[in-house]
Amino acid sequence: MVFIAGATGFVGGHLVDYLLEKGVSLKCLVRSEKTADALARRGVRVCRGDITEPGTLKDVLEPDDIVIHLVGIIAEQGRATFTSVHVDGTANLVAEARRAGVRHFFYQSALGADSASFSGYLRTKAEAEEIVRSSGLGWTIFRPSLIIGPWDGFTRKLVDMIRLSPVLPIPGDGGARFQPVGIRDWLRCGGAVIENPRAHQATYDIGGPEQLTYREIVETLAGVMGSRRLSLHIPLGLMKFSASVLEAVIASPPVTVEQVRLLEQDNICDTDAIEKAFGFRPQRYQEALKEFVR
C-alpha cells in the first residue's frame, strides 16, 4: 500500500493519477470532506487527518506501507508556518511511521535546502530532511528544482502575468538560474522509488537538463504562448518594498519578500542528475511546456 500525505497538491494530484493508472493500492491523508469524497469515488482509501495535528495520525499507517510525504507550503499564513508544517508536521508523520514500522519513507524536500539559509522555506526543509534521515526508517529524499506541468502554480502565475501585462516584468537582472523539470519526469523518478525503495535509499537532486535564467524561463514561456512582449527589468529593491507592503495589508499576498529574495540566487544541480540516478534523460523546458501550455 502506498500512503500519500499531500495528495491534493500539484505533485500529489499527478502522483495519484499515475499510481491509479498502474493499479497501485492507495491510501491518502486528507483534511476536507469534499476531497475525501472525490478520492473515495476513485477507489482510494481515505484517512482524515492533518500532519500538524499528531492526534489525527494515530493508526493511519501499517507495516507494509510506503509513505510519500509531499506536504509543504511556499508562504506562511496564520498557523501554517514553515516550522509547523515542514518541521513539526514531518516529525509527527515520522513518529507515526516509526510506530507502525513502515517499509519506506519518502520525503519531498527542495533543491537548495540548507539549515543555514536565510530562507525560512529552505531552512525548514533542511531541518525536515534531518528528521527523516535520523528516523531509523528506510528513506528517500528528493530535492527538486522547479517542477512544471498542468496545474503548477509557478507556471500559472507566469502565464497570467504574460497575458495581462504589456511587458515581461523581470526582477533585477533576471540572472538567477533554475533547472525546471517536467512533472512526467518527476513521476518516472518517483515511480522508480515506489517500485524498488530499497534500491533508492539516498538523497537525490532532481533537475532538468538545462540551467536557465529566470529571464530565459519567462521569455521561453512567452514564446510557447505565442506572445511577443518586451522584457522590463524591475529593481529588486523596489520589488522587495512592494512585497513588504502587500504582506502588511493582505493575508495571502501574491508574492512575499522571501520569495523575491529567492530570485537572487541560483537553484541548480548537475544537469545529468536524473540520468545518472534513474537512467533516462528528462525533457528540456520548452518541450515540457508545449505539452500543457496552450
- Are 162 and 72 found together in one domain? no
- Are 10 and 126 found together in one domain? yes
- Are 120 and 233 found together in one domain? no
Give the CATH number, domain containing residue 54: 3.40.50.720
Residue ending a domain, choose from 129, 144, 159: 144
Answer whether residue 59 shows pLDDT above 80. yes
Average pLDDT over residues 109-114: 97
Please, is 43 exposed, middle or buried when counting C-beta atoms within 10 Å of its C-beta (0-12, 13-18, 19+)?
A: exposed
Predicted confidence band at 254 (pLDDT cuts at 50, 70, 90)?
confident
Q: In this predicted structure, what is the pLDDT of residue 246?
A: 82
Cell numbers of 128, please? 525536515
Whole-number Å distance between alpha carbons of 131 and 19: 27
Answer whether residue 294 shows pLDDT above 80. no
Residue 276 lies in a domain: no
Amino acid, res. 9: G
Predicted confidence band at 252 (pLDDT cuts at 50, 70, 90)?
confident
Query: What are the residues whose beta carbons fall under 8 Å from the beta carbon of 152, sequence distance 6 or more?
Result: 10, 183
Residue 29 lies in a domain: yes
Average pLDDT over residues 1-30: 96
Residues 124 and 86: beta-carbon distance below 8 Å: yes
Q: In this predicted structure, what is the pLDDT of residue 236?
A: 86
- Are 53 and 117 found together in one domain? yes
Residues 80 and 87: beta-carbon distance below 8 Å: no
Cell numbers of 152, please? 503548477
Phi-psi region of 99 (alpha: psi -120 to 50; beta: other; left: phi over 0): alpha
- Are 66 and 164 found together in one domain? no
- DSSP, collapsed to helix, strand or coil, labels residue 224 as helix
Answer whether residue 20 shows pLDDT above 90. yes
Residue ending a domain, choose from 94, 119, 144: 144
Residue 197 lies in a domain: no
Predicted confidence band at 65 (pLDDT cuts at 50, 70, 90)?
very high
Average pLDDT, the chain: 94
240 HSE (CA, 13 A, CB side): 9
- Are 109 and 174 found together in one domain? no
Domain count, the chain: 2
Average pLDDT over residues 232-260: 85
Residue 188 lies in a domain: no
Residue 168 lies in a domain: yes
Give the CATH number, domain containing residue 214: 3.90.25
Residue 274 lies in a domain: no
Answer whether residue 247 shows pLDDT above 90. no
Residue % of the chain over a pLDDT of 70: 100
- Are 56 and 167 found together in one domain? no
Answer whether residue 11 shows pLDDT above 80. yes
Average pLDDT over residues 129-144: 98
- Are 126 and 38 found together in one domain? yes
- Are 251 and 218 found together in one domain? yes
Q: Which domain holds residue 135?
A: 2-144
Average pLDDT over residues 159-185: 94
Q: In this predicted structure, what is the pLDDT of residue 218?
A: 96
178-236 pLDDT, tens digit each? 999 999 999 999 999 999 999 999 999 999 999 999 999 999 999 999 998 889 999 98
- Are 104 and 157 found together in one domain? no
- Are 137 and 42 found together in one domain? yes
Residue 135 lies in a domain: yes
Q: In this predicted structure, what is the pLDDT of residue 255?
A: 83
DSSP class of residue 117? -
Answer whether residue 239 shows pLDDT above 80. yes
Answer whether residue 145 shows pLDDT above 90. yes
Instruction: State whether the Cα torsion 19-64-189-222 is positive or negative.
Output: positive
Residue 190 lies in a domain: no
Q: In this predicted structure, what is the pLDDT of residue 258?
A: 87
Average pLDDT over residues 98-116: 97
Residue ending a domain, choose from 144, 172, 200: 144
- Are 159 and 108 found together in one domain? no
Q: In this predicted structure, what is the pLDDT of residue 274?
A: 98
Average pLDDT over residues 37-63: 95
